[in-house]
Chain A
Amino acid sequence: MSNTFLELEELALVEKPEKKKPLGPLFWICVGWIVLNIFGAIFANVLPLQNPLFQDYGTINAGPSLHHLFGTDDIGRDIFSRIVFGSRVSITVGFGSMVIGFGIGAPLGMLAAFRRGRFDTIVTTFMYILLAFPAIIATIAVLSFWTPRSVFKIILVIGLASVPLVYRVIRTATLSVATKDYVVAAKVQGATDRRILMKELLPNIAPIGISFLLIGVATVIALEGTLAFLGLSVVVPTPSWGNMINESRTVLQQNPWLAIFPSLALCFFLLSLNFIGDRLRSHFDVTEVKL
């Protein structure tokens, strides 16, 4: 028996709201946090921060204090300053590789779903073969051999590895839109394929794309952390959240702050990204019943 009351025609009659429910304060707090982090990453050089590489042997493994907000590490470097500078690597890798992933995967996915036919078959088969590869192991393998590692190389490898995933998400999203009557209608009115892709498909796929992008960024930042933990990220002493956590391993007993603060930074950043992505998706979902 179908007893989903929400489907009732009667309720559908409620005039569709012109103004949507606001995104809520938590959403804006998360946005604020991300903006603050990005701001810090961009202006780390000009902000009144201590040199992240300066080793002050006078104060090693110090707890949080006024002078060292988050304390110092085992060779006396300021943890706060290292976290701010470390965000540069994490954020650049996160967004950079997603730019590559979406730059290649999204147009291919849209085209394949829109054109169908042989183009779709070939590209989709190819992407599925790539997906069958364990991407993390492949990434690790490539990064182990392709030395010296740099941010650019990491971005390139992770970005390319994410292409099949992005492709699959965008292709599925496009498929559900491309079969709608308004796409047929546009075709019948004489719209060119390019126009249909830009005017009819893109605006309807963009919300899904953006939320997947943010969640993708979060995943990649976590992945960078994993790579750094394995010693496969940027070369030390350049800080990144991941390699800071990695370095803390050996001194966990003496100085837990060294592990806690970068972990918190990573955690809050990812949490905010995921929350924003999820909230945006439901906010822009025109089909979702709002009761």
Chain B
Amino acid sequence: MSVTPEKLLVVNDLSTTFATAGGPLPAVANVSFDLTRNETIGIVGESGSGKTVLSRTIMGLQPRTNVAVTGSVLLNGNEMVGTAESVKRGLWGTEVAMVFQDPMTSLNPVMRIGKQIDETLRVRLGMSKQDAKARAIELLELVGIPSPSQRYDAFPGQLSGGMRQRVVIAIALACSPKLLMADEPTTGLDVTIQAQILNLLDELKERLHMSVVLVTHDLGVVATRTSRIVVMYAGRIVEIGSTRDVFANHRMPYTRALLESSPKVSNASHTRLITIPGRPPNLLKLTQGCSFAPRCAYASDKCHQERPELQGADQPGHSFACWNPLPTTRGDSAS
């Protein structure tokens, strides 16, 4: 690369549509955002929001058939959309790596964990057997696995869920990627383990100067670990901005609903949660208006007719897609 682009990741008007028996299913629609170096961005949404498909599309991990991807994903200057798999293979690991939700299925259960790390190092970086082993043990140590030289020979089944996720992170870090995609990395782990893994990701990000995309349904996970947040609903970005803006000055009613419906430890017992009716829409039967309109208390006729585009809020970098945004003044959400 002659010129190193300023932005590590530029996603522009990205859409992923699956062909299903029920018609085209727009899992991701017209998504644009970017990511600077050494930044952590959070992608938040419920099931069906398209967050997982988005992260896989950015990686270039699509099934071979029945899917159409349009738009562009520039990863450190490399276009990922429409690129041949052989080219993408060269980018996976060194430019971008992924940590999946379920460490049990992303590790090979019948292969020693050391070998699983070795393999990447030897194939991708052409290391010798001895060097690869030494590096693998180093990586295991880096991700905080106690007595790494002994664990090198363990099978995934012999490790706890938290340890397995650490191994998955070690594999992802093997080729020093510039971007780490973490898809629900702590879902299914216990709270104390969850805190350990999130702290580890934070620490590694600083140490290795990586950028991280943290995909999750849990607002608690992104609240203190990200600089910016993307809120997705029905395949689209409905709000994007700095973490502080999204939490404190959100304009999109869905963001507010998401925040208010999650129970908080600081709530008194028997606090009544504020809920939104219904559930996320069927992506095969989207209407032309705002996808959230059927569940929204502020929806007007316009919301049902015409889809709102992202528009800038007061703060730079903060945008939302809503015809009837919440007022900027804080305080009304305290009700």
Asked whether any CB of A lies within 8 Å of a CB of B in the complex, the reply is yes
Interface residues of A (CB under 8 A from B): 1-3, 5, 8-15, 17, 21, 290-291
Nearest-Cβ distance from residue A80 to partner chain B, whole angstroms: 44
Give the docked Cα–Cα distance between A10 and B67 (Å).
14
Q: Which residues does chain A contribute within 8 Å of B18, judged by CB atoms?
A: 11, 291
Q: A1-B100, A2-B106 are in contact. Are A14 and B52 (CB under 8 A)?
A: no
Q: Which residues does chain A contribute within 8 Å of B48, judged by CB atoms?
A: 9-10, 13
Interface residues of B (CB under 8 A from A): 18, 20-22, 25, 27, 47-50, 52-53, 56, 61-63, 66-67, 98, 100, 102, 105-106, 280, 282-285
Q: Given known contacts A8-B53, A10-B27, A11-B25, what 15 new A-B pairs fall within 8 Å (CB)?
A: A1-B100, A5-B56, A5-B67, A9-B47, A9-B52, A10-B47, A10-B50, A10-B52, A11-B20, A13-B280, A14-B22, A14-B283, A15-B284, A291-B18, A291-B66
18 contacts between A and B (CB under 8 A): A1-B98, A2-B105, A5-B67, A10-B27, A10-B47, A10-B48, A10-B52, A10-B53, A11-B27, A12-B47, A13-B47, A13-B48, A14-B22, A14-B283, A14-B284, A15-B282, A15-B285, A291-B18
Q: Which residues does chain A contribute within 8 Å of B67, judged by CB atoms?
A: 5
Q: Which residues does chain A contribute within 8 Å of B282, judged by CB atoms?
A: 13-15
Give the docked Cα–Cα distance between A5 and B61 (Å).
9
* Residue of A whose beta carbon sits closest to that of B48: A13
Give the docked Cα–Cα distance between A21 and B20 (Å).
13
Give the docked Cα–Cα distance between A174 and B102 (Å).
28
A8 near B21 with CB under 8 A, answer no
- How many A-B pairs with Cβ below 8 Å? 54
Q: Which residues does chain B contribute within 8 Å of A8, judged by CB atoms?
A: 52-53
B100 near A14 with CB under 8 A, answer no
B62 near A5 with CB under 8 A, answer yes
A290 touches which one: B21, B52, B61, B66 (CB < 8 A)?
B21
Q: Which residues does chain B contribute within 8 Å of A1, judged by CB atoms?
A: 61, 98, 100, 106
Give the docked Cα–Cα distance between A13 and B281 (Å).
8
B27 near A291 with CB under 8 A, answer no
Give the docked Cα–Cα distance between A289 and B175 (Å).
36
Give the docked Cα–Cα distance between A15 and B285 (Å).
9
Q: Which residues does chain A contribute within 8 Å of B20, judged by CB atoms?
A: 11, 14, 291
Nearest-Cβ distance from residue B221 to partner chain A, whole angstroms: 17
Q: Which residues does chain B contribute within 8 Å of A13, judged by CB atoms?
A: 47-48, 280, 282-283
Q: Which residues does chain B contribute within 8 Å of A9, judged by CB atoms?
A: 47-48, 52
* Residue of A whose beta carbon sits closest to that of B235: A10
B21 near A21 with CB under 8 A, answer yes
Q: Which residues does chain A contribute within 8 Å of B61, judged by CB atoms?
A: 1, 3
B25 near A14 with CB under 8 A, answer yes
A291 near B21 with CB under 8 A, answer yes
* Residue of A whose beta carbon sits closest to that of B27: A10
Q: Which residues does chain B contribute within 8 Å of A11, judged by CB atoms?
A: 18, 20, 25, 27
Give the docked Cα–Cα distance between A290 and B61 (Å).
21
Nearest-Cβ distance from residue A57 to partner chain B, whole angstroms: 61
Q: Which of A10, A14, A21 lies at the interface centre, i.e. has the most chain B CB atoms within 10 A of its CB? A: A10
Q: Which residues does chain B contribute within 8 Å of A10, judged by CB atoms?
A: 27, 47-50, 52-53, 283
Q: Which of A2, A14, A21, A290 lies at the interface centre, i.e. has the most chain B CB atoms within 10 A of its CB? A: A14
Q: Which residues does chain A contribute within 8 Å of B106, judged by CB atoms?
A: 1-2
* Residue of B whose beta carbon sits closest to that of A7: B105
Q: Which of B22, B50, B62 lies at the interface centre, i.e. has the most chain A CB atoms within 10 A of its CB? A: B22
Give the docked Cα–Cα distance between A207 and B258 (Å).
42
Q: A11-B27, A13-B47 are in contact. Are A5 and B63 (CB under 8 A)?
A: yes
Give the docked Cα–Cα distance between A176 and B254 (Å).
40
Give the docked Cα–Cα distance between A17 and B280 (Å).
17
A2 near B102 with CB under 8 A, answer yes
Give the docked Cα–Cα distance between A265 and B33 (Å).
65
* Residue of A whose beta carbon sits closest to that of B23: A14
Give the docked Cα–Cα distance between A10 and B235 (Å).
9
Nearest-Cβ distance from residue B18 to partner chain A, whole angstroms: 7
Nearest-Cβ distance from residue B15 to partner chain A, whole angstroms: 14
* Residue of A whose beta carbon sits closest to that of B66: A291
The 7 closest A-B pairs by CB, nearest first: A13-B48, A9-B47, A2-B105, A5-B63, A15-B282, A291-B20, A10-B27
Give the docked Cα–Cα distance between A124 and B282 (Å).
47
Give the docked Cα–Cα distance between A291 and B106 (Å).
24
* Residue of B whose beta carbon sits closest to that of A8: B52
* Residue of A whose beta carbon sits closest to that of B282: A15
Q: Which residues does chain B contribute within 8 Å of A14, judged by CB atoms?
A: 20, 22, 25, 282-284
* Residue of A whose beta carbon sits closest to that of B92: A1
Q: Which of A11, A21, A290 lies at the interface centre, i.e. has the most chain B CB atoms within 10 A of its CB? A: A11
Give the docked Cα–Cα distance between A11 and B282 (Å).
10
Nearest-Cβ distance from residue A12 to partner chain B, whole angstroms: 7
Nearest-Cβ distance from residue B231 to partner chain A, whole angstroms: 16
Nearest-Cβ distance from residue A59 to partner chain B, whole angstroms: 56
Q: Which residues does chain A contribute within 8 Å of B100, judged by CB atoms?
A: 1-2
Q: Which residues does chain A contribute within 8 Å of B105, judged by CB atoms?
A: 2
Give the docked Cα–Cα distance between A291 and B105 (Å).
23
Give the docked Cα–Cα distance between A15 and B21 (Å).
12
Give the docked Cα–Cα distance between A14 and B22 (Å).
9
Give the docked Cα–Cα distance between A5 and B56 (Å).
9
Give the docked Cα–Cα distance between A290 and B21 (Å).
8
Give the docked Cα–Cα distance between A8 and B45 (Å).
14
Nearest-Cβ distance from residue A66 to partner chain B, whole angstroms: 48
Give the docked Cα–Cα distance between A3 and B62 (Å).
8
Nearest-Cβ distance from residue B176 to partner chain A, whole angstroms: 18
Q: Which residues does chain A contribute within 8 Å of B53, judged by CB atoms?
A: 8, 10
